[in-house]
Chains A and B, each alone.
Chain A
Amino acid sequence: MESMTPISCPTTPRWNQDRPFLTGRFHQETRASSKFADSKRFTLDSSSSGVEQAIGCYDTPVQELIVIDDLLSALVGIEGRYISIKRFHGKEDSIAFQVDPSMDLALQELAKRIFPLCEYYLLIDQFVESSSQFKNGLVNHAFAAALRALLLDYQAMVAQLEHQFRLGRLSIQGLWFYCQPMMGSMRALAAVIQQASTKQFVGSGVLNLLQSQAKAMAGDNSVRSLLEKMTECASNAYLSILERWVYEGIIDDPYGEFFIAENRSLKKESLSQDSTAKYWSQRYSLKDTIPGFLANIAATILTTGKYLNVMRECGHNVQVPISERSKLTIFGSNHHYLECIKAAHEFASIELVNLIKDKYDLVGRLRSIKHYLLLDQGDFLVHFMDIAREELNKKVHEISVEKLQSLLDLALRTTAAAADPRHEDLTCCVDRASLLTTLGMHKDTDSNSIEDPMSITGLETFSLSYKVQWPLSIVISKKALSKYQLIFRFLFHCKHVERQLCGAWQIHQGIRSMNSKGTAILRSSLLCRSMLKFISSLLHYLTFEVLEPNWHVMHDRLQSTRSVDEVIQHHDFFLDKCLRGCLLLLPDVLKKMEKLKSVCLQYAAATQWLISSSIDINSQSHPQKTMIRDTTVTESIFNFEREFNSELQSLGPVLSKGSQAEPYLTHLSQWILGVSKE
């Protein structure tokens, strides 16, 4: 696992690591190749040569006393007269204790039994020295402190043994007996330390290692309690970081050990531009290293701090109320952690939801968006379509967005929308592609129909946009707005078709008084009525069967929701359901609808000419010419009628097939095809 070293990690002077007798590395000092070190080794060797005779020349009882004294030194990592330390330089620098060969064999064996304890001491002492350096993180610091306290007890024990020895009450067998309690503890700790050193564990890695070792050694009661004690000390530093995050939403993590990563490059303003809403999901995220005892609630911890952080970004400084009982650093069972964290999570969640609802009026914003982008109060749109007709009929690249914006402002100020203080956040935008192409891009599917860009006008690409500020941009993000815009574009185009058909209908009404018996006008009038029926049914379905019920469901759910993620979830669910209900995620049905609308538009555009031709036909006195023209007009109307009806008939099976998976299509089928079935 990688350990991130922040730049702020303080450095210490070189002597803090170079002085051998300060760091306890004087054993390796004599191996250095410098001349000075050689001189020092000579000094040490001369010290060693101070021993005048081999231990073998003494009587066994005297040898025992000498060995005990040497062992008391070896237990704290110091070479004695006849016990020395040998260093092996290989893949890992390791240390072994050796005895003088002339020593009594029984004494040699007794001494060698104690050597592992001496090696454990050296290993732990070196680990404490290296782990206490700043860059290793707070958890390693705390762990090293706990180990140092243990070593201090160990040294006190050695001093006590020395006292017994001075009183003449210590034999080598007694020494072995007194070392037994320490032996198991030191062995277990040495195993932990070897793993921690080899794998360069920091932070939660250390905590997890300690916990796993405590479980593995559960049979040995004293070792387990020792490791639990170590875990408690080491985790206190970690729990302080956790406490700050869970109660204040701040990551106070100077060495990058905490399991939550912060991506500072993601700003909250990006929610208004980024289509994938990265800020909410990636500004704070979980790392791979999570302490075992927090793994189950890691997600809860993440969201708690996120909520608090959101409130902080709003200038709303809130802090989870902390009582003495809710201190995380008061060691308890995992249950205690769970209780505290869940309480903090609930507090932060409710507080943030209240902030978004009350101060920032989320529901009001959603209602306003409903007015404009979902055409809840569409009177401004009628006015806008009137005054902007000429501009919207232009090609996409010829449209002046500023002019449209100005016309939109004019429409908003002269209709009921003027009463809404939020109408100033409404803006225009013109896309470059048609709705089908945009949806195709959204779905990453190949678009079979290659559209001619020149044929696209503003009526197909016009859309409204809405400026949303932080923190509502968490919910109404760029991605959500793009979904609103898709629905708007579909509704807008339907409105356009309806207006065109209404114009055609008005033309028919104008000539009703004329004697049109026997001409194609009657059929044209019926066809116009059928088309109006179709588009009105479609619009009614979209607004009253899809948008309005889903919005009210969302509104009711938002009243009782208790977390921002729930708010986001309900809102996204609402949008996705509207998209599906509006046929925007069903390409087959949508293509049928677009085809039908296209036929309607062609018919409406042709109505003027058809009616004029029909009138001319009536006023002509030449039967031959009249007959030829009448045929042409009749054929045109028949073609439109045939095309429309055939498309409408083919819509039935598509809707029936789709209604297996989407029950709401049954409603659409009834609305649109009911009359046809009659």
Chain B
Amino acid sequence: MEDDDQQKAADLVQELVLRLVSQNPQTPNLDPNSPAFLKTLRYAFRILSSRLTPSVLPDATAIAESLKRRLATQGKSSDALAFADLYTKFASKTGPGSVNNKWALVYLLKIVSDDRKSAINGLDSSVLLPNLGIGDTGNGVLSRGEAKKKDWSNGVLLVSKDPENLRDIAFREYAILVKEENEVTEEVLVRDVLYASQGIDGKYVKFNSEIDGYAVQESVKVPRATRIMVRMLSELGWLFRKVKTFITESMDRFPAEDVGTVGQAFCAALQDELSDYYKLLAVLEAQAMNPIPLVSESASSNNYLSLRRLSVWFAEPMVKMRLMAVLVDKCKVLRGGAMAGAIHLHAQHGDPLVHDFMMSLLRCVCSPLFEMVRSWVLEGELEDTFGEFFVVGQPVKVDLLWREGYKLHPAMLPSFISPSLAQRILRTGKSINFLRVCCDDHGWADAASEAAAASGTTTRRGGLGYGETDALEHLVTEAAKRIDKHLLDVLYKRYKFKEHCLAIKRYLLLGQGDFVQYLMDIVGPKLSEPANNISSFELAGFLEAAIRASNAQYDDRDMLDRLRVKMMPHGSGDRGWDVFSLEYEARVPLDTVFTESVLSKYLRVFNFLWKLKRVEHALIGIWKTMKPNCITSNSFVKLQSSVKLQLLSALRRCQVLWNEMNHFVTNFQYYIMFEVLEVSWSNFSKEMEAAKDLDDLLAAHEKYLNAIVGKSLLGEQSQTIRESLFVLFELILRFRSHADRLYEGIHELQIRSKESGREKNKSQEPGSWISEGRKGLTQRAGEFLQSMSQDMDSIAKEYTSSLDGFLSLLPLQQSVDLKFLFFRLDFTEFYSRLHSKG
């Protein structure tokens, strides 16, 4: 039975082909057994046996509806109605005698209709050349002669029809070829690529971990070009997965510290970009629903999506997604300002698309940072929950708030904020905190408001953004200017910083001459005692007495109250002179300037000046001791000439040595008090006036104090010459004690000489006693004077040697002022000449 059916089918096909070929006027009487006919018959069999299935659903009703709709749209409403009626009758027939495969028949009619339409269109094309035909083979001269004759008689029809048929056949064959080599249609692949571009595995395009990307599965049969194109387009999906993974992982840790607000802003910006991306994919998805035309199926369908069109659509998203993926890799381990800085580096690109994209991204990413800057600069608030800001605060005591309370965190400083701008930002916020915490001041809020108004922003949030570094700089400049000025005003006016500096200069640096003189007069005798015997309370009383006895009493009581006596730690061998000191109490906020180390420096300077004053005081004492004795020299006329000469020599030696020492001390003190202290104070005053902020003030004060320490030979590099200087001081003090003893002895001699005169009257009776008394006096006087002269010579020699050593060290000092001191001390070149002779 089956064989019979097949034979019947074959016969039917043969008959059909024969009829079709017979219609061709070129071969009206073609023999069924000719090779040409057999070739055509084989072609028909191949078509019928093809496994190619149409890309439509096997639904007769759907096809009918499609046909009906097309007729309606083409303006053939009556035909559409007729078709509908006929189709209803056709579909309702069932049972024997009816068509079994209804949808196939309807589809066949549709295809034939399309083919005919294409043929009609083809007639309009005049570019087609006449095809010489199919039936040229095997018929010999006779057949060719017949063909020529018929061509001549039917030229127009022949020329217009054959090329169209050939092209139509070629296209159909090509379509079959495409369907054969494509296991999957392009629409399906396009949809899969759209899935892949969202990181989703499609039906045939899946993620392949071996190649680390999306690709058509190897088992699926597609052309090479299609496979390559799918892989290229799916790279977008690979990039998307990277970005999406970063966002998801970060969002899972959003309140966590290792993400931070900048990281959150980055994720939000990326999410916004992905939203735009999703919108594009939605549009493309809608287009992908339209069928892709293949070989004239639907001429009106222009809104489809092919792989090539998709590549055009994907060009710009590819660039952006690639940038985001690069940034995601870069910022994986970064946070805060460092993250912003890294992103900023990537914004330096000449491509306008890249540049604009990065600017938009950075505007979001830097928003938290700029908000922190604004909050810090205008309110002094560190709103840095996750440690992302480049200003870091740390807990410190109040007096160290300025110096160590806040620091820059270099790792968190974005590269688009310059170090100088960062320093200014740091100082501005520090100023606000200093005013609030240390100065108990609230006027800085007005200054901040003025700064915001001047720079055109507002103290509210969201006023600054990335790309407006000039605006940021302007805001910081205005804020710094106003707040720093306010800070200095508070320090100068409310806390009297300048006045306190002046008080320190007067009392600790011994600038108030009458006070110092009186203080030294009343505490001098007490300080000569061992330190253990001295009471601080007693010294405090002396200090108070000195204040009341001098012009210091008219000074501000607040400043006088800060002046205290301080006994430095001492042992049993120390004397009061060595441990006595004055100190000045610095309270908040002045202790920011007058720190413990600063006050200890002042202490060092005070001790030095106190030593110098003591030496000067001693020399003045010597002078007062020496002066009255000149007038009474006549009382020694009764002594022998030799003793008198000895006496005069000793007195003269004492005077000369005093003169030398006084010359040195006077010039040295002048140098210290005027060249060092007054000049440094003058410079410091100028710099205080010129200071713009507290750092300037601190720097000026430090420079002032260091200048004093350096030029006063109190620095580390001046240790050698300082020791030499102290030796000189010690020698002068020894000289004073010797001079006191000398004049004490002379006074005693004077008294004894007078007594000797009186005893002369008594001894007139015994003559030898008188002579013995005078001799004894002379002898003892001689011995005393000789001893004193030797001591003086010894001190003078030591003094000359030490002074020479001191002077030889002066020119080696780095400070030019000390060279001037040398010039002043040796103005007449006396010591230089002495040195040359030596």
Whether B229 and A22, one on each chain, are in contact in the complex, defined by CB atoms closer than 8 angstroms, is no
In the complex, what's the smallest C-beta–C-beta distance from A157 to chain B, in angstroms? 10
Chain B residues, Cβ within 8 Å of A162? 306, 308-309
| Residue interface bits A641-652, CB-to-B below 8 A is 1, else 0 | 000000000000
Q: Is A529 an interface residue (CB 8 A)?
A: no
Q: Which of A297-333 contact B (CB under 8 A)?
A: none
From A50, A79, A141, give the contact of B349 (CB < 8 A).
A141
Task: With CB as the reference atom, state the residue of chain B lying closest to A10.
Answer: B345
Whether A50 and B174, one on each chain, are in contact in the complex, defined by CB atoms closer than 8 angstroms, is no
From A78, A134, A168, give the contact of B296 (CB < 8 A).
A168
Chain B residues, Cβ within 8 Å of A16? 322, 325-326
Q: How far is the CA of A61 from the CA of B325 in the complex (A)?
A: 47
Whether A81 and B296, one on each chain, are in contact in the complex, defined by CB atoms closer than 8 angstroms, is no
Q: Which of B783-838 contact A (CB under 8 A)?
A: 816, 819-820, 822-823
Whether A166 and B224, one on each chain, are in contact in the complex, defined by CB atoms closer than 8 angstroms, is no
Whether A156 and B173, one on each chain, are in contact in the complex, defined by CB atoms closer than 8 angstroms, is no
Whether B213 and A81, one on each chain, are in contact in the complex, defined by CB atoms closer than 8 angstroms, is no
Whether B225 and A50, one on each chain, are in contact in the complex, defined by CB atoms closer than 8 angstroms, is no
Whether A155 and B312, one on each chain, are in contact in the complex, defined by CB atoms closer than 8 angstroms, is yes
Chain A residues, Cβ within 8 Å of B415? 8
Given contacts A145-B354, A155-B312, contact A138 B295 (CB under 8 A): no
In the complex, what's the smallest C-beta–C-beta distance from B812 to chain A, in angstroms? 13
Q: Is B738 an interface residue (CB 8 A)?
A: no
In the complex, what's the smallest C-beta–C-beta distance from A171 to chain B, in angstroms? 9
Task: With CB as the reference atom, state the residue of chain B lying closest to A84.
Answer: B224
Chain B residues, Cβ within 8 Å of A50? 181, 221-224
Q: Is B346 an interface residue (CB 8 A)?
A: yes
Q: How far is the CA of A240 from the CA of B822 in the complex (A)?
A: 61
Chain B residues, Cβ within 8 Å of A26? 228, 231-232
From B171, B174, B225, B342, give the contact of A10 (CB < 8 A).
B342
Q: Is A458 an interface residue (CB 8 A)?
A: no
Q: Is B292 an interface residue (CB 8 A)?
A: yes
Q: Is A163 an interface residue (CB 8 A)?
A: yes
Whether B173 and A59, one on each chain, are in contact in the complex, defined by CB atoms closer than 8 angstroms, is yes
Q: How far is the CA of A23 from the CA of B320 in the complex (A)?
A: 14
Given contacts A50-B223, A62-B177, A155-B312, contact A140 B232 (CB under 8 A): no
Whether A163 and B235, one on each chain, are in contact in the complex, defined by CB atoms closer than 8 angstroms, is no
Given contacts A21-B231, A44-B224, A137-B350, contact A59 B170 (CB under 8 A): yes
Whether B351 and A142, one on each chain, are in contact in the complex, defined by CB atoms closer than 8 angstroms, is yes
Task: With CB as the reference atom, state the residue of chain A lying closest to B181.
Answer: A50
From B235, B292, B306, give the contact of A21 (CB < 8 A).
B235
Whether B225 and A70, one on each chain, are in contact in the complex, defined by CB atoms closer than 8 angstroms, is yes
Given contacts A40-B211, A166-B294, A402-B820, contact A80 B350 (CB under 8 A): no
Q: Is A31 an interface residue (CB 8 A)?
A: no
Task: With CB as the reference atom, state the residue of chain B lying closest to A44.
Answer: B224
Q: Which of A113-170 contact B (CB under 8 A)?
A: 132, 134, 137-145, 148, 151-152, 155-156, 158-159, 162-163, 166-168
In the complex, what's the smallest C-beta–C-beta distance from A308 to chain B, in angstroms? 15
Q: Is B302 an interface residue (CB 8 A)?
A: yes
Give the size of the chain B interface in residues (CB under 8 angstroms).
Answer: 63
Chain A residues, Cβ within 8 Å of B819? 402
In the complex, what's the smallest C-beta–C-beta distance from A27 to chain B, in angstroms? 10
Chain B residues, Cβ within 8 Å of A81? 181, 223-225
In the complex, what's the smallest C-beta–C-beta distance from B193 to chain A, in angstroms? 13
Given contacts A155-B312, A159-B309, A167-B293, contact A140 B350 (CB under 8 A): yes
How extensive is the interface on chain A, given as a class? Answer: 35 or more
Whether A406 and B349, one on each chain, are in contact in the complex, defined by CB atoms closer than 8 angstroms, is no
Whether B231 and A79, one on each chain, are in contact in the complex, defined by CB atoms closer than 8 angstroms, is no
Q: Which of B202-245 contact A (CB under 8 A)?
A: 211, 213, 218, 221-225, 227-229, 231-232, 234-235, 238-239
Task: With CB as the reference atom, state the residue of chain A lying closest to B213.
Answer: A21
Interface of B is mostly: helix
In the complex, what's the smallest C-beta–C-beta distance from B639 to chain A, in angstroms? 47
In the complex, what's the smallest C-beta–C-beta distance from B426 to chain A, in angstroms? 20
Task: With CB as the reference atom, state the residue of chain A lying closest to B318.
Answer: A22
Whether B167 and A134, one on each chain, are in contact in the complex, defined by CB atoms closer than 8 angstroms, is no
Q: Is B299 an interface residue (CB 8 A)?
A: yes
Whether B315 and A152, one on each chain, are in contact in the complex, defined by CB atoms closer than 8 angstroms, is yes
> Which residue of B166, B173, B308, B350 has the most chain A CB atoms within 10 A of its CB atom?
B350
Whether B312 and A152, one on each chain, are in contact in the complex, defined by CB atoms closer than 8 angstroms, is yes
In the complex, what's the smallest C-beta–C-beta distance from B407 to chain A, in angstroms? 24
Q: Is B423 an interface residue (CB 8 A)?
A: no
From B295, B312, B322, give the contact of A159 (CB < 8 A).
B312
Task: With CB as the reference atom, state the residue of chain B lying closest to A132.
Answer: B351
Q: Is A254 an interface residue (CB 8 A)?
A: yes
In the complex, what's the smallest C-beta–C-beta distance from A258 to chain B, in angstroms? 13
Q: How far is the CA of A141 from the CA of B319 in the complex (A)?
A: 13
Q: Is B375 an interface residue (CB 8 A)?
A: no
Task: With CB as the reference atom, state the residue of chain A lying closest to B293.
Answer: A166
Q: Is B348 an interface residue (CB 8 A)?
A: yes
From A19, A64, A73, A78, give the contact of B213 (CB < 8 A).
A19
Whether B171 and A65, one on each chain, are in contact in the complex, defined by CB atoms closer than 8 angstroms, is yes
Q: Which of B296-352 contact A (CB under 8 A)?
A: 296, 299, 302, 306, 308-309, 311-312, 315-316, 319, 322, 325-326, 329-330, 342, 345-346, 348-352
In the complex, what's the smallest C-beta–C-beta distance from A270 to chain B, in angstroms? 21
Q: Is B645 an interface residue (CB 8 A)?
A: no
Whether A145 and B351, one on each chain, are in contact in the complex, defined by CB atoms closer than 8 angstroms, is yes
Whether B353 and A43, one on each chain, are in contact in the complex, defined by CB atoms closer than 8 angstroms, is no
> Which residue of B166, B218, B322 has the most chain A CB atoms within 10 A of its CB atom?
B322
From B311, B316, B325, give the contact of A76 (CB < 8 A).
B311
Q: How far is the CA of A138 from the CA of B227 in the complex (A)?
A: 35
| Residue interface bits A2-29, CB-to-B below 8 A is 1, else 0 | 0000001110110110010110101000
| Residue interface bits A25-63, CB-to-B below 8 A is 1, else 0 | 010000000000000100110111011100000110110
Q: Is A400 an interface residue (CB 8 A)?
A: yes
Whether B823 and A400, one on each chain, are in contact in the complex, defined by CB atoms closer than 8 angstroms, is yes
Chain B residues, Cβ within 8 Å of A79? 224-225, 228
| Residue interface bits A419-443, CB-to-B below 8 A is 1, else 0 | 0000000000000000000000000
Whether B348 and A72, one on each chain, are in contact in the complex, defined by CB atoms closer than 8 angstroms, is no
From A10, A80, A142, A158, give the contact of B224 (CB < 8 A).
A80
Chain B residues, Cβ within 8 Å of A389? none
Chain B residues, Cβ within 8 Å of A15? 329
Whether B181 and A51, one on each chain, are in contact in the complex, defined by CB atoms closer than 8 angstroms, is yes
> Which residue of A12, A21, A40, A234 has the most chain B CB atoms within 10 A of its CB atom?
A21
Given contacts A8-B345, A64-B170, contact A78 B350 (CB under 8 A): no
Q: How far is the CA of A156 from the CA of B299 in the complex (A)?
A: 20
Q: How far is the CA of A516 from the CA of B831 in the complex (A)?
A: 47
In the complex, what's the smallest C-beta–C-beta distance from B202 to chain A, in angstroms? 17
Task: With CB as the reference atom, state the residue of chain B lying closest to A45.
Answer: B224
> Which residue of A16, A78, A139 has the most chain B CB atoms within 10 A of its CB atom?
A78
Task: With CB as the reference atom, state the residue of chain A lying closest to B122.
Answer: A168
Chain B residues, Cβ within 8 Å of A8? 345, 348, 415
Task: With CB as the reference atom, state the residue of chain A lying closest to B311.
Answer: A155
Given contacts A134-B346, A155-B311, A156-B312, contact A168 B171 (CB under 8 A): yes
Q: Is A237 an interface residue (CB 8 A)?
A: yes
Q: Which of A450-481 contact B (CB under 8 A)?
A: none
Chain A residues, Cβ within 8 Å of B171? 65, 168
Residues of A within 8 A of B (CB): 8-10, 12-13, 15-16, 19, 21-22, 24, 26, 40, 43-44, 46-48, 50-52, 58-59, 61-62, 64-66, 70, 72-73, 76, 78-81, 132, 134, 137-145, 148, 151-152, 155-156, 158-159, 162-163, 166-168, 233-234, 236-237, 254-255, 400, 402-403, 406
Q: List 10 A-B contacts (CB under 8 A).
A: A12-B329, A15-B329, A21-B232, A44-B224, A58-B173, A134-B348, A144-B351, A145-B352, A163-B302, A166-B294
- Nearest 8 A/B pairs, CB to CB: A141-B350, A138-B350, A61-B170, A237-B350, A145-B351, A142-B350, A73-B225, A10-B345
Q: 9 additional contacts, CB 8 Å, given A10-B348, A400-B823?
A: A47-B224, A58-B177, A80-B224, A141-B350, A145-B351, A166-B294, A166-B295, A233-B352, A403-B823
